Amino acid sequence: MNPKKLEMIYEGKAKKVYATSDPDSVIFSYKDDATAFNGQKFARFEGKGVLNNAISTLMFERLQVRGVRSHFIRKLSDRDQLCRRVEIVPLEVVVRNRATGSMAKRMGLDDGMRLATTVLELCYKRDELGDPVIGEYHAVGAGIATFAEIEAMYRTARIVNTEMQEIFSGIGIELIDFKIEFGRLPADRVAPDEPRLVLADEISPDTCRLWDAKTGERLDKDRFRRDLAPLLDGYREILERLEQSRIQ
């Protein structure tokens, strides 16, 4: 039996979070809003939330089969997911397989340049600061996370990258980069030897750069950021390929 949705406790750029009748769970409700450049660009696309919920659900389910622990429990409806309640760590790990976006701009690199190694960036989640890239010592010194937690984030990020590259390459899509977030489970809700840190938030074309492997067409939110093509056409293409791969 699903817990009852109660009051909204948080609203972000792409989702609303609701308390439930179960104190250990929350409901993520995906919105149709699209934002870029830390909220400076905004639009609404009817049905975007439904697509992101479906894609994120498929990605969390596949990662869980591969042993990646997350806050995801199950999909409830077209827009809603049931998730474990966590304390979100205000850090993002950005995983880059090619140089594009802010990395290419900061370093003066050619857009789409293949990197000699996958790059992991640690970013401080503060819109008013532009989500700056910071060092591990900054995060630990500011009391945001411990060195052990950051290493666990990096370790999970590498695993997720490997698994997602396999998933997307199997449907003719190249995983260019992505960002992930983490949350801490309540200390009194985990066993003494169970890690508190789990993958959280979402995995969708909002948080990943995904290019068609043959044509290089961008199927992700860059369509909106750069005014390239209709946003939802790319999202639908990703979902259709993921669903088709489940049938085969």
Q: What sign has the CA pseudo-torsion 153, 156, 162, 164?
A: negative
CA distances (Å), origin 9, targets 98, 186, 241: 37, 17, 34
The model's pTM is: 0.95
Q: Give the model's confidence band at 37: pLDDT under 50 very low, under 70 low, under 90 confident, else very high.
A: confident
Asked if residue 39 has pLDDT above 90, the reply is no
Those residues whose C-beta lies under 8 Å from the C-beta of residue 129, and which sit 6 or more positions away, are none
- Hey, how many other C-beta atoms are within 10 angstroms of the C-beta on 93? 23
pLDDT tens across 110-146, in order?
999 999 999 999 999 998 999 999 999 999 999 999 9
Q: Which two tokens stand for residue 109?
A: 């690199």
State the average pLDDT over residues 169-191.
Answer: 95
Q: What is the pLDDT of residue 117?
A: 98
**Alpha carbon distance, N-terminus to C-terminus of the chain:** 31
The mean pLDDT value for 31-44 works out to 92
37 with 190: CB under 8 angstroms? Answer: no
CA distance 150 to 93: 9
The domains of the chain, with CATH numbers, are 5-84 (3.30.200.20), 87-232 (3.30.470.20)
- Sheet with 72-75: list strands edge to edge: 5-11, 15-20, 25-30, 80-84, 72-75
Give the pLDDT mean for 20-32: 97
| Placement of tokens 């043959």 in the chain | 214
pLDDT score recorded for residue 247? 57
Helical spans, DSSP H, in 66-128? 101-107
Q: Give residue 245's pLDDT.
A: 85
Q: What pLDDT is recorded for position 38?
A: 79
Distance CA 56, CA 137 (A): 31
Give SS3 for 225: helix
> With contact defined as beta carbons under 8 Å apart, do 230 and 51 qualify?
no
**For residue 248, what pLDDT is reported?**
54
The reported pLDDT for the residue numbered 194 is 85
Q: Read off the pLDDT of residues 192-236 as tens digits, 9 standing for 90 and up.
A: 888 899 999 999 999 999 999 999 999 999 999 999 999 999 999
Q: Which residue has the tokens 């003066």?
A: 108
Q: Which residues touch 108 (CB under 8 Å, ≥6 apart)?
A: none
pLDDT, tens digit, for every residue of 44-94? Answer: 999 999 999 999 999 999 999 999 999 999 999 999 999 999 999 999 999
| pLDDT score recorded for residue 90 | 98
Length of the chain measured in residues = 248
Of all residues in the chain, the percent with pLDDT exceeding 70 is: 99
